[in-house]
Structure 1
């Protein structure tokens, strides 16, 4: 393999000091928000902190959208503004620049969902290519990202995974999927842009994994370009990460790994129960946390071949990675370790890590308001369902508002 020190010439080696990063410093966390914007954020999380209200609001918004009622302005100036960059890449430029000022990168995430036609798959491919081109123009976008279900039907991916015999039409359809995936990864390689392939449900994930490793073997021999995603709430993921690292080492390519906890637990458990197969999800949250942190240790110990991005809002895991990096003498801005959070969430993690010189990026979803509503509904539900998430966000914003008043 080539000398890694030459892969990222923009990196500056700095002496590592064992200084903890505080996620309680709200003056840094909300430094980019004006008083009026912060008050707006306060009221939004105050509402999202009430589960019954989130359920009721989601219900009525869905009805209003079906009836084509004029509520786009309300949505765009509340939940859309909080969690999305805009309706296009151009609309997102202000967000990209604001994050860049805080030394936080942007991951443009084209979040249109629910379209399953060949035309929509081709249109999504073209849009992801635009994100790659934009990322290649400056250092403010360190990664691009796509979901394979944005390029292929779930039914086809599942048929491939279970080994069904594909008919002539399905084979042609899957050939087009392979071409779309290769087009994106090849362009990312040509433009020197790292690209995430997001994880999805277990009944199609093996197909996605196979595509990811094939792309890595094509395009990761010089540097880590293609990253697969490991959902650590699945009990086999840590073993897979170790297996895949050794395979990459044996074949002479770099493994890119985005580590997440996971996003489909309820669906996974319901389906495994209904179809009577082994639940792929860890027995307890503690098991997930243990494997996530073990994956951090493994990745830091294997940086000769493995680059990671921690896609997490878990404060302990972020602190754990920081501490292990310090103990191992790994510089904060080591190019093979990134942290990532969603726009509008966990700014206390993102901004404080960036302020301490760690590599941080925000997922910035974008797309037409109506088309990204499924994403926004999940964000609202996630804040409601993750233990203490909306309360944590609300408390931090409240603390900063109080601090600003006392500073006057």
Structure 2
């Protein structure tokens, strides 16, 4: 994919007039702070104002990359190369692929190779009135020693962010798969699903938590009685939970909330179990302010709304505030393939419109509970209509746009037009920043490639807005000659 991206990008740029590069400049100064009220409504029509803080060369680079990522044959080839053991296990070929990825898609979607580079990326975003959700890009650990190393990296990231201006960073972020071995998450999820099927099942290791699954949740992963955790597995579980609480404590000490990402359904029950246990411990004093621990809800799952309502209701009964990042979901191919291989109905909504509806319903529910002080929400979306609906709901409920319990978020390299439009409308907006070496973040890059492939992908709006602004700047340059 990387080589194809580089070639297509050069081809795209070569068709633009040379004077387009030499005569157009845009002041990088931001028009207003996120709290300003000069543009109270979400408006993406005025691209001159929208992209006033973005240099032309950055617009060109983004548009070239997005058009290339929309070319399915190029993306499919690139994904096949990055997933190929025959390529990635050969040193010379791997170095060639990694080098090409670093120069192209890595620069588009990632914040750098280490905490220092991520800090510089964060600073550039802050100058444009955007904040950062910073994630040390580790996932899918196999053993305890790897989990310990990953935890050290996450702690270092939190300490780095604590030195940044307070309003430049909105969250730290972690994947439980990086601090708890995958096989253990699978085992715990199996036992939690079996407990849902058979409530009399006793799990002696289970700590106080909220209900994990509902009657509509997918339980087909666990068809027979799973063996109980061994003594060694129980020790591993305690160590894993200790890693999570260590990270939560460090975040609490710096008053920096922690977002825990969602994963595929085969391990998500165990992740939710750990999140809810940590929420009970760290969110107890979060009424009318941000919780410390946030989970993630994927609205493409059919049971999403039911699980959300269940968790928030139980949090209210426990007297704590609960936080959620709301996303559409990033494992569609994996979930669909697994369900098909088992001969069961997919856990994902049948149509994209059903997913949009579920997302908007969940967002409205969380905003309503936010009024009561029992919930906080990060609306992670690249969908313009969702942004407009959510912004209208905020106005309807009389919520303050500067309320720290409400955040909008988009991935670095995606949804930039929506990010800037929401910023101009006065909302708190963050970009999700993953950092790490190219080899570490390849799984993340593959998911971004999957999301952007095809001309009807989530990047369609970005391409339209970028092209509109580049045409406007070209016209202005020609008229000015």
Fold match, TM over 0.5? Answer: yes
Whole-Å Cα distance in 2 between the matches of residues 42 and 117 of structure 1? 41
Corresponding residue of 2:43 = 22
Q: Structure 1 residue 263: deviation in Å?
A: 1.3
The C-alpha deviation readout for 1:166-202, integer Å capped at 9, x for no partner, is 1222222212111111111122122211111111111
Pick the aligned partner of 1:182 from 227, 245, 251. Answer: 245
Pick the aligned partner of 1:191 from 251, 254, 275. Answer: 254
Alignment of 1:38-53 (within 5 A): 38-53=59-74
The farther-off stretch of 47-56 and 341-350 is 47-56
Structure 2 contact 141–179 (Cα < 8 Å) conserved: no
Corresponding residue of 1:125 = 151
Pick the aligned partner of 2:102 from 65, 68, 76. Answer: 76
Partner of 1:20: helix, strand, or coil?
Answer: coil
Partner of 1:280: helix, strand, or coil?
Answer: coil
Corresponding residue of 1:159 = 187
The farther-off stretch of 268-277 and 159-168 is 268-277
Partner of 1:263: helix, strand, or coil?
Answer: coil
Pick the aligned partner of 2:431 from 354, 359, 362. Answer: 362
The C-alpha deviation readout for 1:51-72, integer Å capped at 9, x for no partner, is 1011223334556543333434
Partner of 1:246: helix, strand, or coil?
Answer: helix
Whole-Å Cα distance in 2 between the matches of residues 190 and 174 of structure 1? 24
Pick the aligned partner of 1:220 from 283, 300, 304. Answer: 283
Corresponding residue of 1:6 = none
Pick the aligned partner of 2:407 from 305, 316, 338. Answer: 338
Corresponding residue of 1:378 = 447
Provide closer, same or farther for how the CA distance between residues 32 and 295 of structure 1 changes in structure 2, counting only shifts above 3 A: same
Provide closer, same or farther for how the CA distance between residues 25 and 333 of structure 1 changes in structure 2, counting only shifts above 3 A: same
The farther-off stretch of 116-125 and 142-151 is 116-125
Two-structure CA RMSD over aligned residues (Å)? 2.3
Q: Does the alignment pair 1:325 with 2:388?
A: no
Structure 1 contact 29–347 (Cα < 8 Å) conserved: no
Whole-Å Cα distance in 2 between the matches of residues 283 and 43 of structure 1? 32
Q: Does the alignment pair 1:231 with 2:298?
A: yes
Alignment of 1:271-290 (within 5 A): 271-290=338-357
Corresponding residue of 2:90 = 67
Q: Structure 1 residue 324: deviation in Å?
A: 1.0
The C-alpha deviation readout for 1:95-126, integer Å capped at 9, x for no partner, is 11111112211111112345423222111111
Q: Structure 1 residue 135: deviation in Å?
A: 2.9
The C-alpha deviation readout for 1:316-345, integer Å capped at 9, x for no partner, is 111101011112222222222111100011
Partner of 1:192: helix, strand, or coil?
Answer: coil
Corresponding residue of 2:318 = 251
TM-score (norm 2): 0.77
Structure 1 contact 125–184 (Cα < 8 Å) conserved: yes
Q: Structure 1 residue 396: deviation in Å?
A: 2.4
Partner of 1:46: helix, strand, or coil?
Answer: helix
Q: Does the alignment pair 1:149 with 2:170?
A: no
Partner of 2:409: helix, strand, or coil?
Answer: strand
TM-score (norm 1): 0.90
Pick the aligned partner of 2:307 from 223, 231, 240. Answer: 240
The farther-off stretch of 82-91 and 296-305 is 296-305
The farther-off stretch of 77-86 and 28-37 is 28-37
Whole-Å Cα distance in 2 between the matches of residues 116 and 28 of structure 1? 48
Q: How many residues align?
A: 397
Q: Does the alignment pair 1:396 with 2:417?
A: no
The farther-off stretch of 150-159 and 360-369 is 150-159
Query: Larger radius of gyration, structure 1 or 2?
Result: 2
Corresponding residue of 2:269 = 206
The farther-off stretch of 209-218 and 168-177 is 168-177
Whole-Å Cα distance in 2 between the matches of residues 248 and 76 of structure 1? 43
Higher relative contact order (CA 8 A, sep 6+): 1
Partner of 1:123: helix, strand, or coil?
Answer: helix
Pick the aligned partner of 1:35 from 38, 41, 56. Answer: 56
Give structure 1 stretches of 5+ with no counterpart: 1-11
Structure 1 contact 272–279 (Cα < 8 Å) conserved: yes
Give structure 2 stretches of 5+ with no counterpart: 1-32, 192-226
Partner of 2:294: helix, strand, or coil?
Answer: strand
Partner of 1:309: helix, strand, or coil?
Answer: strand
Structure 2 contact 172–256 (Cα < 8 Å) conserved: yes
Alignment of 1:346-357 (within 5 A): 346-357=415-426
Q: Structure 1 residue 213: deviation in Å?
A: 0.9
Partner of 2:448: helix, strand, or coil?
Answer: helix
Q: Does the alignment pair 1:109 with 2:132?
A: no
Provide closer, same or farther for how the CA distance between residues 124 and 25 of structure 1 changes in structure 2, counting only shifts above 3 A: farther
Whole-Å Cα distance in 1 between the matches of residues 130 and 323 of structure 2? 20
The farther-off stretch of 156-165 and 140-149 is 156-165
